[in-house]
Structure 1
Amino acid sequence: MNDQDEYREEEQSSVKQDRRKGEGGRSGNLALGIILVGLVAVFIFSAITGLFVFLHANKDKFLRPAATTEVTAPAQTDKVTEKSLPSERETEETDPGFILPDITPTDPQNGKTVLTIPQIVEKTKPAVVAIYTDVVVSDQFGELSQNIVSGSGFIISPDGYVVTNAHVIENARSIHVNLEDGRAFETKLVGSDSYADIAVLKIDSKDLPFVELGDSSQLLIGELAIAIGNPTGRLSGTVTSGIISALDRELSQTPIALIQTDAALNPGNSGGALLNTYGEVIGINQLK
Protein backbone atom coordinates (compact mmCIF):
# COMPACT_ATOMS: atom_id res chain seq x y z
CA MET A 1 0.00 0.00 0.00
CA ASN A 2 2.72 2.44 0.83
CA ASP A 3 4.53 1.67 -2.39
CA GLN A 4 1.40 2.36 -4.38
CA ASP A 5 0.76 5.63 -2.59
CA GLU A 6 4.26 6.82 -3.27
CA TYR A 7 3.94 5.87 -6.94
CA ARG A 8 0.71 7.83 -7.26
CA GLU A 9 2.23 10.90 -5.61
CA GLU A 10 5.25 10.74 -7.96
CA GLU A 11 2.95 10.35 -10.95
CA GLN A 12 0.81 13.37 -9.90
CA SER A 13 3.88 15.53 -9.30
CA SER A 14 5.23 14.67 -12.77
CA VAL A 15 1.87 15.57 -14.34
CA LYS A 16 1.91 18.97 -12.59
CA GLN A 17 5.46 19.62 -13.78
CA ASP A 18 4.47 18.78 -17.38
CA ARG A 19 1.50 21.18 -17.14
CA ARG A 20 3.75 23.97 -15.85
CA LYS A 21 6.17 23.38 -18.70
CA GLY A 22 3.33 23.55 -21.23
CA GLU A 23 1.97 26.77 -19.78
CA GLY A 24 5.43 28.33 -19.76
CA GLY A 25 5.93 27.46 -23.45
CA ARG A 26 2.61 28.97 -24.45
CA SER A 27 3.44 32.22 -22.58
CA GLY A 28 6.74 32.52 -24.37
CA ASN A 29 5.15 31.98 -27.77
CA LEU A 30 2.51 34.66 -27.02
CA ALA A 31 5.14 37.23 -26.03
CA LEU A 32 7.16 36.48 -29.16
CA GLY A 33 4.02 36.93 -31.33
CA ILE A 34 3.24 40.29 -29.72
CA ILE A 35 6.79 41.50 -30.37
CA LEU A 36 6.60 40.43 -34.02
CA VAL A 37 3.23 42.18 -34.51
CA GLY A 38 4.62 45.38 -32.94
CA LEU A 39 7.64 45.31 -35.23
CA VAL A 40 5.42 44.86 -38.30
CA ALA A 41 3.17 47.75 -37.18
CA VAL A 42 6.20 50.02 -36.65
CA PHE A 43 7.53 49.09 -40.10
CA ILE A 44 4.18 49.80 -41.81
CA PHE A 45 3.77 53.14 -39.96
CA SER A 46 7.28 54.18 -40.93
CA ALA A 47 6.65 53.28 -44.57
CA ILE A 48 3.39 55.24 -44.70
CA THR A 49 5.00 58.26 -42.99
CA GLY A 50 7.90 58.19 -45.41
CA LEU A 51 5.52 58.01 -48.38
CA PHE A 52 3.60 61.10 -47.18
CA VAL A 53 6.81 63.04 -46.61
CA PHE A 54 8.01 62.12 -50.11
CA LEU A 55 4.72 63.15 -51.75
CA HIS A 56 4.60 66.46 -49.87
CA ALA A 57 8.18 67.31 -50.80
CA ASN A 58 7.53 66.60 -54.48
CA LYS A 59 3.94 67.82 -54.80
CA ASP A 60 4.87 70.54 -57.34
CA LYS A 61 6.47 67.95 -59.57
CA PHE A 62 3.41 65.70 -59.48
CA LEU A 63 0.85 68.53 -59.85
CA ARG A 64 2.66 70.37 -62.67
CA PRO A 65 1.32 69.38 -66.09
CA ALA A 66 3.65 67.33 -68.14
CA ALA A 67 5.69 69.31 -70.62
CA THR A 68 5.04 68.53 -74.23
CA THR A 69 7.39 69.08 -77.07
CA GLU A 70 5.82 70.81 -80.02
CA VAL A 71 7.60 70.77 -83.33
CA THR A 72 6.85 73.87 -85.41
CA ALA A 73 8.36 75.48 -88.41
CA PRO A 74 10.84 78.26 -87.68
CA ALA A 75 8.93 81.54 -87.33
CA GLN A 76 9.73 84.57 -89.45
CA THR A 77 10.34 87.49 -87.10
CA ASP A 78 11.07 91.10 -87.89
CA LYS A 79 14.35 92.45 -86.73
CA VAL A 80 13.82 94.68 -83.68
CA THR A 81 15.47 98.05 -83.95
CA GLU A 82 15.81 100.88 -81.48
CA LYS A 83 13.25 102.92 -83.44
CA SER A 84 10.54 100.28 -82.99
CA LEU A 85 10.81 100.36 -79.21
CA PRO A 86 8.94 103.08 -77.24
CA SER A 87 11.30 105.61 -75.80
CA GLU A 88 11.48 106.26 -72.07
CA ARG A 89 10.10 109.76 -72.58
CA GLU A 90 7.07 108.49 -74.52
CA THR A 91 6.30 106.07 -71.73
CA GLU A 92 6.66 108.64 -68.96
CA GLU A 93 4.46 111.22 -70.70
CA THR A 94 1.50 108.89 -71.22
CA ASP A 95 -1.54 110.60 -69.71
CA PRO A 96 -3.44 108.13 -67.45
CA GLY A 97 -6.38 110.54 -67.20
CA PHE A 98 -7.04 110.99 -70.89
CA ILE A 99 -10.60 111.64 -72.02
CA LEU A 100 -12.27 110.78 -75.30
CA PRO A 101 -12.53 114.35 -76.68
CA ASP A 102 -8.74 114.60 -76.48
CA ILE A 103 -8.40 112.05 -79.29
CA THR A 104 -11.14 113.40 -81.58
CA PRO A 105 -9.41 116.44 -83.12
CA THR A 106 -8.41 116.41 -86.75
CA ASP A 107 -4.79 116.42 -87.83
CA PRO A 108 -3.03 119.75 -87.34
CA GLN A 109 -3.82 122.25 -90.11
CA ASN A 110 -1.01 124.32 -91.58
CA GLY A 111 1.26 123.79 -88.62
CA LYS A 112 -1.42 124.68 -86.04
CA THR A 113 -1.08 123.25 -82.53
CA VAL A 114 -3.80 120.96 -81.23
CA LEU A 115 -4.81 122.14 -77.75
CA THR A 116 -6.35 120.37 -74.79
CA ILE A 117 -9.63 121.65 -73.33
CA PRO A 118 -7.91 123.50 -70.43
CA GLN A 119 -5.54 125.16 -72.91
CA ILE A 120 -8.46 126.22 -75.12
CA VAL A 121 -10.24 127.71 -72.11
CA GLU A 122 -7.14 129.56 -70.94
CA LYS A 123 -6.60 130.99 -74.43
CA THR A 124 -10.16 132.11 -75.24
CA LYS A 125 -12.20 132.56 -72.08
CA PRO A 126 -10.92 136.11 -71.30
CA ALA A 127 -12.33 137.29 -74.65
CA VAL A 128 -15.85 135.88 -74.10
CA VAL A 129 -18.17 138.50 -72.59
CA ALA A 130 -21.52 138.55 -70.81
CA ILE A 131 -24.04 140.92 -72.41
CA TYR A 132 -26.90 142.67 -70.61
CA THR A 133 -29.43 144.91 -72.37
CA ASP A 134 -32.19 147.18 -71.11
CA VAL A 135 -35.34 146.51 -73.08
CA VAL A 136 -38.67 148.29 -72.80
CA VAL A 137 -41.65 146.08 -73.53
CA SER A 138 -45.39 146.62 -73.39
CA ASP A 139 -47.90 144.20 -71.96
CA GLN A 140 -51.35 143.33 -73.30
CA PHE A 141 -52.81 146.42 -71.69
CA GLY A 142 -50.29 148.72 -73.36
CA GLU A 143 -48.33 149.42 -70.21
CA LEU A 144 -44.58 149.74 -70.62
CA SER A 145 -42.01 147.98 -68.43
CA GLN A 146 -38.25 147.74 -68.46
CA ASN A 147 -36.58 144.32 -68.53
CA ILE A 148 -33.01 143.12 -68.58
CA VAL A 149 -32.10 140.59 -71.28
CA SER A 150 -28.89 138.59 -70.98
CA GLY A 151 -26.72 136.86 -73.55
CA SER A 152 -23.15 136.24 -74.59
CA GLY A 153 -20.62 137.55 -77.08
CA PHE A 154 -16.91 137.47 -77.93
CA ILE A 155 -14.30 140.09 -78.76
CA ILE A 156 -12.72 139.70 -82.21
CA SER A 157 -10.18 142.54 -82.14
CA PRO A 158 -8.01 144.25 -79.52
CA ASP A 159 -9.76 147.58 -80.17
CA GLY A 160 -13.08 146.25 -78.94
CA TYR A 161 -15.29 144.83 -81.70
CA VAL A 162 -17.73 142.26 -80.27
CA VAL A 163 -19.85 139.70 -82.12
CA THR A 164 -23.16 138.40 -80.76
CA ASN A 165 -26.63 137.33 -81.90
CA ALA A 166 -29.01 139.99 -83.18
CA HIS A 167 -31.85 138.75 -81.02
CA VAL A 168 -29.73 139.33 -77.88
CA ILE A 169 -29.64 143.12 -78.46
CA GLU A 170 -33.02 143.45 -80.21
CA ASN A 171 -34.96 146.60 -79.12
CA ALA A 172 -32.27 147.40 -76.54
CA ARG A 173 -32.12 150.94 -75.13
CA SER A 174 -28.65 150.31 -73.74
CA ILE A 175 -26.10 147.49 -74.02
CA HIS A 176 -23.49 146.59 -71.41
CA VAL A 177 -20.77 143.96 -71.54
CA ASN A 178 -18.86 142.41 -68.65
CA LEU A 179 -15.42 140.93 -69.22
CA GLU A 180 -13.92 137.94 -67.49
CA ASP A 181 -11.46 140.16 -65.59
CA GLY A 182 -14.31 142.14 -63.99
CA ARG A 183 -14.30 145.20 -66.26
CA ALA A 184 -17.66 146.45 -67.53
CA PHE A 185 -18.37 148.68 -70.54
CA GLU A 186 -21.37 150.27 -72.17
CA THR A 187 -21.18 149.50 -75.88
CA LYS A 188 -22.48 150.94 -79.12
CA LEU A 189 -24.30 148.97 -81.79
CA VAL A 190 -22.31 148.94 -85.03
CA GLY A 191 -24.83 146.93 -87.03
CA SER A 192 -27.10 143.90 -86.99
CA ASP A 193 -28.86 141.46 -89.33
CA SER A 194 -31.95 139.94 -87.76
CA TYR A 195 -32.37 137.42 -90.62
CA ALA A 196 -28.84 136.04 -90.18
CA ASP A 197 -29.18 136.68 -86.42
CA ILE A 198 -25.81 138.41 -86.07
CA ALA A 199 -24.80 141.75 -84.59
CA VAL A 200 -21.56 143.67 -84.03
CA LEU A 201 -20.91 145.90 -81.02
CA LYS A 202 -18.04 148.28 -80.19
CA ILE A 203 -16.31 148.72 -76.84
CA ASP A 204 -14.47 152.01 -76.41
CA SER A 205 -11.20 150.55 -75.18
CA LYS A 206 -7.86 149.19 -76.41
CA ASP A 207 -5.58 146.21 -75.81
CA LEU A 208 -8.51 143.94 -75.10
CA PRO A 209 -8.27 140.13 -75.20
CA PHE A 210 -9.67 138.69 -78.41
CA VAL A 211 -10.29 135.37 -80.12
CA GLU A 212 -9.04 134.11 -83.46
CA LEU A 213 -11.52 133.19 -86.19
CA GLY A 214 -11.26 129.71 -87.70
CA ASP A 215 -12.53 128.08 -90.86
CA SER A 216 -15.80 126.22 -90.34
CA SER A 217 -15.52 124.64 -93.81
CA GLN A 218 -12.68 122.48 -92.45
CA LEU A 219 -14.81 120.93 -89.72
CA LEU A 220 -15.43 117.19 -89.52
CA ILE A 221 -18.36 115.45 -87.85
CA GLY A 222 -17.14 114.02 -84.55
CA GLU A 223 -14.53 116.74 -84.02
CA LEU A 224 -14.15 118.36 -80.61
CA ALA A 225 -16.35 121.41 -79.91
CA ILE A 226 -16.14 123.78 -76.93
CA ALA A 227 -18.88 126.30 -76.01
CA ILE A 228 -18.26 129.24 -73.67
CA GLY A 229 -21.03 131.61 -72.61
CA ASN A 230 -23.28 133.16 -69.97
CA PRO A 231 -26.14 130.67 -69.35
CA THR A 232 -29.12 131.99 -67.35
CA GLY A 233 -27.43 135.43 -67.25
CA ARG A 234 -25.79 134.58 -63.92
CA LEU A 235 -23.15 132.01 -64.89
CA SER A 236 -20.73 133.93 -67.11
CA GLY A 237 -17.67 132.06 -68.32
CA THR A 238 -19.37 128.64 -68.27
CA VAL A 239 -17.55 126.04 -70.39
CA THR A 240 -19.20 122.98 -71.92
CA SER A 241 -17.73 120.47 -74.34
CA GLY A 242 -18.99 118.02 -76.93
CA ILE A 243 -18.51 117.15 -80.57
CA ILE A 244 -19.66 118.41 -83.94
CA SER A 245 -22.84 116.35 -84.36
CA ALA A 246 -23.78 117.48 -87.89
CA LEU A 247 -22.89 120.09 -90.48
CA ASP A 248 -24.87 122.27 -92.89
CA ARG A 249 -28.18 122.03 -91.08
CA GLU A 250 -30.81 124.18 -92.81
CA LEU A 251 -33.61 125.99 -90.99
CA SER A 252 -36.18 128.34 -92.41
CA GLN A 253 -35.38 130.99 -89.78
CA THR A 254 -31.89 131.71 -91.19
CA PRO A 255 -30.14 131.63 -94.57
CA ILE A 256 -26.89 130.47 -92.99
CA ALA A 257 -26.07 126.75 -92.80
CA LEU A 258 -25.89 125.76 -89.15
CA ILE A 259 -23.51 123.60 -87.14
CA GLN A 260 -25.11 121.10 -84.78
CA THR A 261 -23.28 120.23 -81.55
CA ASP A 262 -24.10 118.21 -78.46
CA ALA A 263 -22.25 120.66 -76.18
CA ALA A 264 -24.77 121.80 -73.56
CA LEU A 265 -26.39 125.18 -74.34
CA ASN A 266 -28.93 127.07 -72.23
CA PRO A 267 -30.74 130.43 -72.40
CA GLY A 268 -28.03 133.06 -72.07
CA ASN A 269 -25.54 131.12 -74.21
CA SER A 270 -26.83 132.89 -77.32
CA GLY A 271 -24.09 134.87 -79.01
CA GLY A 272 -21.28 132.96 -77.30
CA ALA A 273 -18.33 131.32 -79.03
CA LEU A 274 -18.18 127.78 -80.39
CA LEU A 275 -14.51 126.79 -80.58
CA ASN A 276 -12.51 124.12 -82.37
CA THR A 277 -9.53 122.16 -81.09
CA TYR A 278 -7.15 124.99 -82.01
CA GLY A 279 -9.00 127.51 -79.85
CA GLU A 280 -10.51 129.25 -82.89
CA VAL A 281 -14.10 130.44 -83.21
CA ILE A 282 -15.92 128.34 -85.80
CA GLY A 283 -19.50 129.28 -84.89
CA ILE A 284 -21.82 131.52 -82.86
CA ASN A 285 -23.98 129.69 -80.34
CA GLN A 286 -27.66 130.29 -81.00
CA LEU A 287 -30.48 129.34 -78.69
CA LYS A 288 -33.79 131.11 -79.09
Structure 2
Amino acid sequence: MSILNAKPVVLAALAASALVMAVSMAFNDKRLCVVCRVYPVSPEYTVTCSFTCIQIFCQRGSGDPRMCDVCHRHPKRQGQQQCGDECAGVTNVACLICKSRPKDGRHDLCSLTCKKVAMILAPCILEVPRGHTIYDMVEGKFKRAWKNKSSPIPVIKRVFKIIENEEFQKPYELYRVDLAKATGAFGVGVYTSSASNKAYSYCKPNGALLLNKVVLGRVRHVSGWNEVMSCPPGYNSVIFERMDGILNETILYCDDAIRPVFLIIF
Protein backbone atom coordinates (compact mmCIF):
# COMPACT_ATOMS: atom_id res chain seq x y z
CA MET A 1 0.00 0.00 0.00
CA SER A 2 1.37 3.42 -0.91
CA ILE A 3 1.65 6.31 1.53
CA LEU A 4 -1.00 8.19 -0.43
CA ASN A 5 -3.45 5.30 -0.12
CA ALA A 6 -2.75 4.94 3.59
CA LYS A 7 -3.26 8.61 4.43
CA PRO A 8 -7.10 8.60 4.38
CA VAL A 9 -7.11 5.54 6.66
CA VAL A 10 -4.85 7.30 9.16
CA LEU A 11 -7.01 10.41 9.05
CA ALA A 12 -10.13 8.31 9.55
CA ALA A 13 -8.55 6.59 12.54
CA LEU A 14 -7.61 9.95 14.03
CA ALA A 15 -11.15 11.23 13.47
CA ALA A 16 -12.63 8.17 15.18
CA SER A 17 -10.23 8.60 18.09
CA ALA A 18 -11.21 12.25 18.41
CA LEU A 19 -14.90 11.27 18.39
CA VAL A 20 -14.38 8.75 21.20
CA MET A 21 -12.48 11.37 23.18
CA ALA A 22 -15.23 13.93 22.62
CA VAL A 23 -17.92 11.51 23.82
CA SER A 24 -15.83 10.63 26.87
CA MET A 25 -15.32 14.30 27.73
CA ALA A 26 -19.02 15.00 27.29
CA PHE A 27 -19.90 12.10 29.56
CA ASN A 28 -17.67 13.46 32.31
CA ASP A 29 -18.94 17.01 31.84
CA LYS A 30 -21.18 17.67 34.83
CA ARG A 31 -23.13 20.19 32.79
CA LEU A 32 -24.45 17.57 30.38
CA CYS A 33 -27.18 14.96 30.75
CA VAL A 34 -25.76 11.47 31.43
CA VAL A 35 -28.39 9.85 29.18
CA CYS A 36 -28.48 11.84 25.94
CA ARG A 37 -25.11 13.54 26.62
CA VAL A 38 -26.26 16.48 24.52
CA TYR A 39 -28.35 18.86 26.60
CA PRO A 40 -27.47 20.59 29.89
CA VAL A 41 -28.49 19.01 33.18
CA SER A 42 -31.60 20.40 34.84
CA PRO A 43 -31.56 20.41 38.68
CA GLU A 44 -35.15 19.18 38.57
CA TYR A 45 -34.09 15.98 36.82
CA THR A 46 -31.04 15.02 38.92
CA VAL A 47 -28.23 14.20 36.46
CA THR A 48 -30.40 14.40 33.34
CA CYS A 49 -31.86 17.15 31.18
CA SER A 50 -35.55 16.31 30.87
CA PHE A 51 -38.43 14.16 32.05
CA THR A 52 -37.88 11.87 29.06
CA CYS A 53 -34.26 11.28 30.00
CA ILE A 54 -35.00 10.85 33.72
CA GLN A 55 -37.50 8.10 32.85
CA ILE A 56 -34.84 6.29 30.82
CA PHE A 57 -32.28 6.89 33.55
CA CYS A 58 -34.49 5.49 36.32
CA GLN A 59 -35.03 2.28 34.35
CA ARG A 60 -31.52 1.53 33.10
CA GLY A 61 -29.14 4.15 34.46
CA SER A 62 -26.79 6.01 32.15
CA GLY A 63 -26.25 2.95 29.98
CA ASP A 64 -22.59 2.46 30.89
CA PRO A 65 -22.10 -0.29 33.52
CA ARG A 66 -18.51 0.84 34.07
CA MET A 67 -19.65 4.11 35.62
CA CYS A 68 -20.49 4.84 39.26
CA ASP A 69 -24.01 3.78 40.29
CA VAL A 70 -24.63 7.18 41.91
CA CYS A 71 -23.08 10.00 39.86
CA HIS A 72 -22.79 7.98 36.62
CA ARG A 73 -19.86 10.17 35.55
CA HIS A 74 -16.76 8.49 36.94
CA PRO A 75 -15.55 4.88 36.71
CA LYS A 76 -16.34 2.56 39.59
CA ARG A 77 -13.62 1.71 42.06
CA GLN A 78 -12.30 -1.80 41.68
CA GLY A 79 -14.64 -4.21 43.44
CA GLN A 80 -17.19 -1.49 44.22
CA GLN A 81 -20.27 0.02 42.58
CA GLN A 82 -19.33 3.63 43.29
CA CYS A 83 -16.47 5.89 42.26
CA GLY A 84 -15.49 7.15 45.71
CA ASP A 85 -16.43 7.75 49.32
CA GLU A 86 -18.80 10.63 48.59
CA CYS A 87 -20.98 8.58 46.25
CA ALA A 88 -20.69 5.50 48.46
CA GLY A 89 -22.13 7.59 51.29
CA VAL A 90 -25.26 8.33 49.26
CA THR A 91 -26.17 4.70 48.58
CA ASN A 92 -27.55 3.97 52.06
CA VAL A 93 -29.97 6.91 51.90
CA ALA A 94 -30.53 7.06 48.14
CA CYS A 95 -33.89 7.57 46.45
CA LEU A 96 -35.26 4.16 45.45
CA ILE A 97 -36.11 5.39 41.94
CA CYS A 98 -33.17 7.46 40.64
CA LYS A 99 -30.61 6.20 43.22
CA SER A 100 -28.54 9.30 42.53
CA ARG A 101 -29.82 11.66 45.23
CA PRO A 102 -30.66 11.20 48.93
CA LYS A 103 -34.30 10.41 49.61
CA ASP A 104 -36.44 13.16 51.10
CA GLY A 105 -36.55 12.59 54.85
CA ARG A 106 -38.99 9.85 55.81
CA HIS A 107 -40.12 9.41 52.22
CA ASP A 108 -38.72 6.67 49.97
CA LEU A 109 -38.08 8.96 47.00
CA CYS A 110 -36.17 12.20 46.56
CA SER A 111 -38.64 14.43 44.72
CA LEU A 112 -41.99 14.86 43.00
CA THR A 113 -40.21 14.13 39.73
CA CYS A 114 -39.18 10.67 40.89
CA LYS A 115 -42.69 10.13 42.25
CA LYS A 116 -44.10 10.89 38.78
CA VAL A 117 -41.68 8.40 37.25
CA ALA A 118 -42.70 5.82 39.86
CA MET A 119 -46.37 6.28 38.97
CA ILE A 120 -45.56 5.66 35.30
CA LEU A 121 -43.61 2.50 36.13
CA ALA A 122 -46.24 1.25 38.61
CA PRO A 123 -47.33 -1.29 39.50
CA CYS A 124 -43.86 -2.51 40.28
CA ILE A 125 -41.56 -3.48 43.11
CA LEU A 126 -38.20 -1.85 43.80
CA GLU A 127 -35.54 -3.81 45.61
CA VAL A 128 -34.18 -2.08 48.68
CA PRO A 129 -30.44 -2.82 49.01
CA ARG A 130 -29.15 -4.30 52.24
CA GLY A 131 -27.65 -1.53 54.38
CA HIS A 132 -30.09 1.09 53.11
CA THR A 133 -31.92 2.98 55.87
CA ILE A 134 -35.25 1.72 54.50
CA TYR A 135 -34.02 -1.89 54.63
CA ASP A 136 -32.93 -1.34 58.23
CA MET A 137 -36.31 0.21 59.07
CA VAL A 138 -38.29 -2.72 57.63
CA GLU A 139 -36.01 -5.29 59.27
CA GLY A 140 -36.25 -3.42 62.57
CA LYS A 141 -40.05 -3.34 62.44
CA PHE A 142 -40.18 -7.07 61.78
CA LYS A 143 -37.78 -7.89 64.62
CA ARG A 144 -39.49 -5.60 67.14
CA ALA A 145 -42.85 -7.14 66.30
CA TRP A 146 -41.56 -10.68 66.91
CA LYS A 147 -43.27 -11.52 70.20
CA ASN A 148 -42.59 -15.24 70.45
CA LYS A 149 -39.31 -15.17 72.39
CA SER A 150 -39.03 -18.97 72.37
CA SER A 151 -38.72 -19.04 68.58
CA PRO A 152 -35.71 -17.63 66.68
CA ILE A 153 -36.30 -14.65 64.41
CA PRO A 154 -35.91 -15.74 60.76
CA VAL A 155 -33.31 -14.06 58.58
CA ILE A 156 -34.66 -11.61 56.02
CA LYS A 157 -33.00 -12.15 52.65
CA ARG A 158 -34.49 -9.37 50.53
CA VAL A 159 -36.81 -6.38 50.88
CA PHE A 160 -38.86 -4.76 48.11
CA LYS A 161 -40.79 -1.50 48.09
CA ILE A 162 -44.24 -1.87 46.53
CA ILE A 163 -45.18 0.93 44.14
CA GLU A 164 -48.86 1.22 43.25
CA ASN A 165 -50.80 3.41 40.85
CA GLU A 166 -54.52 4.15 40.69
CA GLU A 167 -55.17 1.46 38.10
CA PHE A 168 -53.45 -1.12 40.28
CA GLN A 169 -55.42 0.02 43.32
CA LYS A 170 -58.82 0.16 41.65
CA PRO A 171 -59.73 -3.57 41.73
CA TYR A 172 -58.61 -3.72 45.34
CA GLU A 173 -60.68 -0.70 46.30
CA LEU A 174 -63.76 -2.00 44.50
CA TYR A 175 -63.61 -5.29 46.30
CA ARG A 176 -66.31 -5.66 48.89
CA VAL A 177 -66.01 -7.81 51.97
CA ASP A 178 -69.63 -8.94 51.66
CA LEU A 179 -68.78 -10.64 48.35
CA ALA A 180 -66.15 -12.82 49.98
CA LYS A 181 -66.73 -16.31 51.28
CA ALA A 182 -67.73 -16.17 54.93
CA THR A 183 -64.77 -17.70 56.74
CA GLY A 184 -62.62 -16.79 59.70
CA ALA A 185 -62.89 -17.00 63.46
CA PHE A 186 -64.36 -13.51 63.65
CA GLY A 187 -66.36 -13.48 60.44
CA VAL A 188 -65.55 -12.17 56.99
CA GLY A 189 -62.62 -9.79 57.14
CA VAL A 190 -58.99 -9.12 56.38
CA TYR A 191 -56.92 -10.99 58.96
CA THR A 192 -53.61 -9.43 59.95
CA SER A 193 -51.30 -9.47 62.96
CA SER A 194 -49.14 -6.94 64.79
CA ALA A 195 -46.94 -9.88 65.87
CA SER A 196 -44.49 -10.66 63.08
CA ASN A 197 -44.02 -14.19 64.42
CA LYS A 198 -47.75 -14.82 63.94
CA ALA A 199 -47.66 -13.50 60.38
CA TYR A 200 -44.52 -15.50 59.63
CA SER A 201 -46.24 -18.69 60.79
CA TYR A 202 -48.19 -18.59 57.51
CA CYS A 203 -44.95 -18.42 55.48
CA LYS A 204 -42.73 -21.21 54.31
CA PRO A 205 -38.99 -21.04 55.12
CA ASN A 206 -38.38 -19.49 51.70
CA GLY A 207 -41.65 -17.59 51.65
CA ALA A 208 -42.69 -13.95 51.58
CA LEU A 209 -44.53 -11.57 53.88
CA LEU A 210 -46.19 -8.19 53.36
CA LEU A 211 -45.62 -5.27 55.71
CA ASN A 212 -48.80 -3.22 55.52
CA LYS A 213 -50.17 0.07 56.72
CA VAL A 214 -53.62 -0.15 58.33
CA VAL A 215 -56.31 2.15 59.67
CA LEU A 216 -57.83 0.54 62.76
CA GLY A 217 -60.38 3.22 63.64
CA ARG A 218 -62.36 2.33 66.75
CA VAL A 219 -61.18 -1.07 68.02
CA ARG A 220 -63.27 -3.76 69.70
CA HIS A 221 -61.04 -5.93 71.90
CA VAL A 222 -62.24 -9.53 72.32
CA SER A 223 -61.07 -12.28 74.65
CA GLY A 224 -62.04 -15.46 72.80
CA TRP A 225 -62.80 -17.11 69.46
CA ASN A 226 -66.11 -16.36 67.76
CA GLU A 227 -66.95 -13.66 70.28
CA VAL A 228 -68.01 -11.57 67.29
CA MET A 229 -68.71 -12.83 63.78
CA SER A 230 -68.85 -9.49 61.99
CA CYS A 231 -67.76 -5.93 62.59
CA PRO A 232 -69.54 -4.85 65.79
CA PRO A 233 -71.78 -1.79 65.41
CA GLY A 234 -69.89 1.39 66.21
CA TYR A 235 -66.48 -0.24 65.66
CA ASN A 236 -64.10 -0.52 62.71
CA SER A 237 -61.85 -3.42 63.67
CA VAL A 238 -61.39 -6.27 66.13
CA ILE A 239 -58.26 -7.25 68.06
CA PHE A 240 -57.72 -10.54 69.87
CA GLU A 241 -54.53 -10.42 71.96
CA ARG A 242 -54.17 -14.17 72.02
CA MET A 243 -51.47 -15.40 74.45
CA ASP A 244 -50.85 -11.84 75.66
CA GLY A 245 -50.27 -10.65 72.11
CA ILE A 246 -47.78 -13.33 71.06
CA LEU A 247 -50.39 -14.59 68.59
CA ASN A 248 -52.16 -11.29 67.98
CA GLU A 249 -55.13 -11.34 65.62
CA THR A 250 -56.13 -7.99 64.10
CA ILE A 251 -59.18 -8.13 61.86
CA LEU A 252 -60.23 -5.38 59.48
CA TYR A 253 -63.68 -5.33 57.93
CA CYS A 254 -63.01 -2.91 55.10
CA ASP A 255 -60.42 -3.58 52.41
CA ASP A 256 -59.80 0.16 52.11
CA ALA A 257 -58.31 0.04 55.62
CA ILE A 258 -55.17 -1.82 54.52
CA ARG A 259 -52.47 -1.24 51.91
CA PRO A 260 -49.21 -3.14 51.27
CA VAL A 261 -46.04 -1.10 51.70
CA PHE A 262 -43.11 -3.53 51.68
CA LEU A 263 -42.52 -7.09 50.49
CA ILE A 264 -40.14 -9.15 52.64
CA ILE A 265 -38.43 -12.25 51.25
CA PHE A 266 -37.05 -14.96 53.55
TM-score range, shorter chain: under 0.3
Q: Which protein, 1 or 2, shows the higher relative CO under an 8 Å CA cutoff with sep ≥ 6?
A: 1
Higher relative strand content? 1
Output the TM-score relative to the length of structure 1.
0.21
Output the TM-score relative to the length of structure 2.
0.22
